[in-house]
Amino acid sequence: MRILKLSTALPKNEFSTEKLIRSFPCELPEGVKENVWNLGVSKRCFIDHNYSSSLPETVMSEAGIVDLCAEACNDVVRGADLSMGDVGYLVAAYDACPFLSPGLSQFLVPKLGLNPYIKHVNAQGVASTAFMKTLDLAEHYLALHPDDHVLVCISGVTSYWFHNQIRGLKDLMEVANISSIADPAKRNLELRKWVATIQYFLFGDGAAAAVVASGGEGLSLKGTVEVTNVGKEDYMAGYSRLAVTNDLFRFGFHSHLDRKIPELGAKYTSLALEKLLGRDAERVMKTAKKWVVHTGSEKILTKLSERNGIKPEKLRESHEILKEYGNLAGASLPFILDKVLKNSRFNVGDLILMVGYGWGFSAAASLLEYLE
């Protein structure tokens, strides 16, 4: 299977980390500011929801995410010298969306002018391994329909979650002081506030799209492996979940980032790479021209590069995307891969290793070969 073309789209609203710190609902303690800067993010883009805090309830609009995804999809189809009539299957992957149902693909079909009878599917909640999941679904479809083209769309819009959970935040503690709180409920609340703050400063919004086909010019997908929940409760290291309140028609939102995530990310990606590459693991990992690694955070990227012996130049684009756009969730890998292809010179047969990891707890690894 070939990845014929990639395209990315960003919201027009760009914010520096400095500006976000100044406009944060409360004063950040110095230690928390240090935590924020250590994430490795200098700026990012957000969909501007313009919600009024004076209203008791605001119904969030889907327009921002649909428009952004449609922009990436239209660009990639044009870039592949195709029309929407050439697309036989639409795969949409996303995590956060104002609509729990219907899914993103249902909105994109009419927005893109696709045939209303087109085959389409939503992949929700696969987070940072979303790109691999969409490619896997596309490959299965193309095995039965080898003459078709598949349009893949990955939404990295998470501000629907991470902006709204810090509304009304009035105070914040240093993370080092939270563990000393005796009251479990108070300790949990302070930890939730700290995690919400880190997520607010780590994640950015973006969307990506790809056109894939059985043949043609482009990157060849040589194989993909996914591993999930080796430990029965590993998924608890990172998650977003709903809660209920005692108020009528009110729901809560819980999100968590555990300190174990860097180590779990390194462990799970190693398992995926070993399964994918087998006896050739050492040779391929050493000779791969580039690595495309999910933008978890600066600490996680460093952890993975040290564990796998990745030279800095081979991982440069992952650091750059993190710095410029933040953690783009599932959209991070196509953003990085697109930048790698635009900024690097390849020869036929050069290999690229692509690795995603995170909430689930999951990791996925793909081997790509340059054929142009």
* Mean pLDDT, rounded, of the chain: 94
Within a domain: 254: yes
Please tell me the predicted confidence (pLDDT) of residue 252: 87
Under the banding of pLDDT at 50, 70 and 90, the label for residue 52 is low
The domain that holds 262 is classified in CATH as: 3.40.47.10
Does residue 8 share a domain with residue 36? Answer: yes
Within a domain: 15: yes
Q: What global pTM score does this model have?
A: 0.95
* Structure-model confidence comparison of residues 106 and 252, the more confident one: 106
Within a domain: 185: no
Does residue 128 share a domain with residue 21? Answer: yes
Does residue 111 share a domain with residue 137? Answer: yes
Within a domain: 353: yes
Residue ending a domain, choose from 151, 185, 216: 216
Does residue 234 share a domain with residue 212? Answer: no
* Contact status, residue 195 vs residue 257, Cβ threshold 8 Å: yes
Within a domain: 182: no
Does residue 107 share a domain with residue 9? Answer: yes
Within a domain: 32: yes
Q: Where are the alpha helices (DSSP H) in the chain?
A: 17-23, 30-37, 63-79, 104-112, 130-144, 159-162, 175-178, 184-202, 261-277, 281-287, 298-308, 316-325, 332-343
Please tell me the predicted confidence (pLDDT) of residue 203: 96
Kindly write down the DSSP assignment for every residue of 181-214, as one continuous string.
-S-HHHHHHHHHHHHHHHHHHHB---EEEEEEES
- Structural domains in the chain (count): 2
Compute the average pLDDT of residues 49-68.
Answer: 80
Does residue 154 share a domain with residue 261? Answer: no
Token pair, residue 174, equals 């240093």
242-290 pLDDT tens trace: 998 888 888 888 999 888 998 999 999 999 999 999 999 999 999 999 9
Does residue 151 share a domain with residue 232? Answer: no
Within a domain: 103: yes
200-228 pLDDT tens trace: 999 999 999 999 999 988 899 999 999 99
Statement: residue 28 has pLDDT above 60: yes
Does residue 345 share a domain with residue 285? Answer: yes
Does residue 206 share a domain with residue 283? Answer: no
Statement: residue 51 has pLDDT above 90: no
Under the banding of pLDDT at 50, 70 and 90, the label for residue 50 is low
Does residue 357 share a domain with residue 280? Answer: yes
Statement: residue 53 has pLDDT above 70: no
Under the banding of pLDDT at 50, 70 and 90, the label for residue 23 is very high
Does residue 59 share a domain with residue 137? Answer: yes
Within a domain: 193: no
What number of other Cβ atoms are within 10 A of residue 105's Cβ? 22
Does residue 349 share a domain with residue 229? Answer: yes
* Contact status, residue 153 vs residue 15, Cβ threshold 8 Å: no
* Contact status, residue 123 vs residue 137, Cβ threshold 8 Å: yes
Containing structural domain, residue 261? 223-369
